[in-house]
Chains A and B, each alone.
Chain A
Amino acid sequence: MELQGKAWKYGDDIDTDVIIPARYLNTSDPQELAKHCLEDLDPQFKEKMTAGDLIVAGDNFGCGSSREHAPLAIKAAGVSCVIANSFARIFYRNALNIGLPILECPSAVIDISEGDEIKVDIDSGLIFNLSTEKKYQAVPFPDFMQELIQSGGLINYVRKQVKE
């Protein structure tokens, strides 16, 4: 699967409270959540971005709460992929489970500037910076997680298992 869009760049330790503040958690409707995606970090984010764009961030993206509303908000806002140096573990799990593509790739993060046009091949983990014509290889997912991703997330995976 190939994804392409513009990069929006943020720093380290972007927590789930700024990704989707608790004041909006009285609903789990993805479209409602999407309206407030990253609101406390970058209030203009929703207006500036267009569907397909990527978030590029530093260490420990998604730290804090276990709220799945965070990757849901990002996905429903139309963000195609998050590239970071590292992800907080619950966010990592949640993103895989709900089918939000994420990649760990410090060499790409350090090079990519805000606004660069990025293309990602999710299956191979290859990241192309079309603005600078550079190419990066993300950390590959272990086999089990590949299987999860190919099943289309955890629920589909479990549904298959339950049937067997």
Chain B
Amino acid sequence: MAMTMVEKILADHAGRDEVSPGEIVTASLDLVLGNDITTPVAIEEFKKIGVEQVFDSAKIALVPDHFTPNKDINSAQQSKLLRDFAQEQQLENYFEIGEMGIEHCLLPEQGLVHPGEIIIGADSHTCTYGAFGALATGVGSTDMAAAMATGEAWFKVPETMKFVFNGELAPWVSGKDLILYLIGDIGVDGALYRALELGGEAVSNLSMAGRMTMSNMAIEAGAKCGLIAPDEKTREYLAGRSEVDYKEYLSDPAAEYYEVKEYQVEDIEPQVAYPHLPENTRGISEVEDIPIDQAVIGSCTNGRLEDLRVAAQILEGQKRAPGVRLLVFPGTQNIYQQAIDEGIIATLIEAGAAVSTPTCGPCLGGHMGVLAAGERAIATTNRNFVGRMGHPESEVYLSNPAVAAASALAGKIVSPEEVL
């Protein structure tokens, strides 16, 4: 039977020859992830199961990234639970402050995610690893607990929607814009319960960073996962980071899809998602005069080196507009270090940016950049729900790093063309 990538991966991990959409299967897991918000609940539930040891101390990754470096006493207690559990279980992949990063920037960089794997994480943006052709999906803490005990999870085999991006990207258009465009097209529940397959020439031409940005936001269309077929770039990225043998899965040409949609990317300009849903997108040329108080560049969506490079390219030799706070959050310590080595951080600081150690911080309204009532931010993050970055009466607009940097200079949302 012809199958999609997701169906093949599930079949193999469930010890089956084939699976079809709608079936519920139990599959083995290659990696289980948790952060400082979701893991404390998972640890509590794990202890109720009645096993002493996790299924494999090399296949669990704990990353304290949300409220760290700890913002208050309660979050310090939460982080301590992770640290103690990691020690007690001898986990190989616990990342302490100073070596940690935002989980979805960190795990790929550490060579912990590979094509063909099944990865679940108690964090909705676990779907980021779809960029490697892995079936990666977010779950809750209880699923994480059960997975840590058994190394397995149940899955309903999803139908797959295929999106083909043809053509060449216009200037300042990135993976972020392609995925925002897609979400704007199908809506925040347009792929509910389903898998996305992202492909076409424009996706192949993206770097692994750009691909991760796209898969990262599959969840914003309601999808279970967002896969990109592995290729030479995938292999190159992994070479030197990982020794693990992995298997690449590609969809059969005759595989059945719920829907196949094609876009011509020349028609896509940088996108801005208006409050309070990621589907409220428009092209930058249709954005009216929207003054901003804060610009945030970073997060698991756009906190990678090439994102910071683009921001620096635009900010170089210029200064943020008076009254605008420009916050930059490199995704990992390595990215931070490389950005220093390349002179990016100096450029950002000269432009008036506050640069932080890696943290989720402002992305979820946690700390390090929370908005007051009536304030407005442009952010390279992935969600703009009510109260996402702070006060319920604040507003978040989503964009790519180039638009966010340009807007910091202009004091309102503008195209990079307008500040260069």
Given the complex of chains A and B, what is the CA–CA distance between A138 and B365 in angstroms? 36
Q: Which residue of B lies closest to A65 (CB)?
A: B124
Given the complex of chains A and B, what is the CA–CA distance between A69 and B142 in angstroms? 11
- For A158, list chain B residues within 8 Å (CB): 49, 146, 149-150
Per-residue contact bits, chain A 116-149, to B (CB 8 Å; 1 contact, 0 not):
0000000000000000000000000010110000
Q: Within 8 Å of chain B (Cβ to Cβ): is A1?
A: no
- Asked if residues A60 and B192 are in contact (CB atoms below 8 Å), the reply is yes
Given the complex of chains A and B, what is the CA–CA distance between A91 and B378 in angstroms? 28
Given A90-B139, A153-B142, answer yes or no on A13-B193 (Cβ-Cβ < 8 Å): no
Per-residue contact bits, chain A 49-92, to B (CB 8 Å; 1 contact, 0 not):
00000000001100111111101100000000000001011100
- For A59, list chain B residues within 8 Å (CB): 189
Out of B67, B154, B277, B383, which one reaches A144, CB within 8 Å? B154
Out of A18, A67, A155, which one reaches B145, CB within 8 Å? A155
Out of B45, B149, B189, which one reaches A162, CB within 8 Å? B149
- Asked if residues A90 and B124 are in contact (CB atoms below 8 Å), the reply is yes
Given A155-B49, A155-B145, A161-B150, answer yes or no on A64-B40 (Cβ-Cβ < 8 Å): no
Q: Within 8 Å of chain A (Cβ to Cβ): is B307?
A: no
Q: Within 8 Å of chain A (Cβ to Cβ): is B392?
A: yes
Given A90-B139, A97-B140, A144-B24, answer yes or no on A18-B192 (Cβ-Cβ < 8 Å): no
The total of interchain contacts (Cβ-Cβ below 8 angstroms) comes to 142
Q: Within 8 Å of chain A (Cβ to Cβ): is B348?
A: no
Out of A26, A66, A159, which one reaches B48, CB within 8 Å? A159
Q: Within 8 Å of chain A (Cβ to Cβ): is B364?
A: yes
- For A22, list chain B residues within 8 Å (CB): 66, 364-366, 388
- Asked if residues B142 and A97 are in contact (CB atoms below 8 Å), the reply is yes
Size category, B interface: 35 or more
- For A97, list chain B residues within 8 Å (CB): 140, 142-143
Choose, from B72-80, B109-117, B204-212, B243-251, the stretch at the interface: B72-80
Given A22-B365, A68-B38, answer yes or no on A86-B146 (Cβ-Cβ < 8 Å): no
- Asked if residues A26 and B75 are in contact (CB atoms below 8 Å), the reply is yes
Q: Within 8 Å of chain A (Cβ to Cβ): is B141?
A: yes
- Asked if residues A86 and B189 are in contact (CB atoms below 8 Å), the reply is yes
- Asked if residues B50 and A162 are in contact (CB atoms below 8 Å), the reply is yes
Q: Within 8 Å of chain B (Cβ to Cβ): is A34?
A: no
Given the complex of chains A and B, what is the CA–CA distance between A145 and B24 in angstroms? 9
Q: Within 8 Å of chain A (Cβ to Cβ): is B331?
A: no
> Interface residues of A, CB < 8 Å — how many?
44
- Asked if residues A25 and B37 are in contact (CB atoms below 8 Å), the reply is yes
Given the complex of chains A and B, what is the CA–CA distance between A163 and B370 in angstroms? 47
- Asked if residues A18 and B146 are in contact (CB atoms below 8 Å), the reply is no
- Asked if residues A89 and B385 are in contact (CB atoms below 8 Å), the reply is no
- Asked if residues B192 and A68 are in contact (CB atoms below 8 Å), the reply is no
In chain B, positions 22-75 with a C-beta closer than 8 Å to chain A are 24, 37-38, 40-41, 44-45, 48-51, 66-67, 71-72, 74-75
A10 shortest CB reach to chain B, Å: 12
- For A67, list chain B residues within 8 Å (CB): 37-38, 140
Among A21, A22, A88, A145, chain B packs the most CB atoms within 10 A around the CB of A22
Given the complex of chains A and B, what is the CA–CA distance between A66 and B390 in angstroms? 19
Given the complex of chains A and B, what is the CA–CA distance between A127 and B139 in angstroms? 29
B77 shortest CB reach to chain A, Å: 8
Q: Within 8 Å of chain A (Cβ to Cβ): is B228?
A: no
Q: Within 8 Å of chain B (Cβ to Cβ): is A150?
A: no
Q: Within 8 Å of chain A (Cβ to Cβ): is B122?
A: yes
Given the complex of chains A and B, what is the CA–CA distance between A145 and B112 in angstroms? 31
Q: Within 8 Å of chain A (Cβ to Cβ): is B304?
A: no
- For B123, list chain A residues within 8 Å (CB): 65-66
- For A163, list chain B residues within 8 Å (CB): 50
Given A25-B37, A97-B143, A162-B150, answer yes or no on A155-B48 (Cβ-Cβ < 8 Å): yes
Given A63-B189, A89-B224, A163-B50, answer yes or no on A154-B366 (Cβ-Cβ < 8 Å): no
- Asked if residues B192 and A88 are in contact (CB atoms below 8 Å), the reply is yes
Given the complex of chains A and B, what is the CA–CA distance between A25 and B233 in angstroms? 38
Q: Within 8 Å of chain B (Cβ to Cβ): is A40?
A: yes
Given A68-B140, A162-B50, answer yes or no on A41-B386 (Cβ-Cβ < 8 Å): yes
Residues on B close to A: CB < 8 A? 24, 37-38, 40-41, 44-45, 48-51, 66-67, 71-72, 74-75, 78, 121-124, 126, 138-143, 145-146, 149-150, 154, 156, 188-189, 192-193, 219, 222, 224, 277, 364-366, 370, 383, 385-388, 390, 392
Known pairs A60-B192, A142-B24, A162-B51 / 12 extra A-B pairs, C-beta < 8 Å: A15-B385, A17-B383, A26-B75, A40-B387, A59-B189, A66-B122, A88-B192, A89-B224, A90-B139, A90-B140, A94-B140, A154-B142
5 smallest beta-carbon distances between A and B, as pairs: A94-B140, A26-B74, A60-B189, A68-B140, A97-B142
Residues on A close to B: CB < 8 A? 12-13, 15, 17-18, 21-23, 25-28, 40-41, 59-60, 63-69, 71-72, 86, 88-90, 93-94, 97-98, 142, 144-145, 153-155, 158-159, 161-163
6 interchain pairs (CB within 8 A)? A17-B387, A65-B383, A68-B142, A97-B143, A98-B142, A162-B149
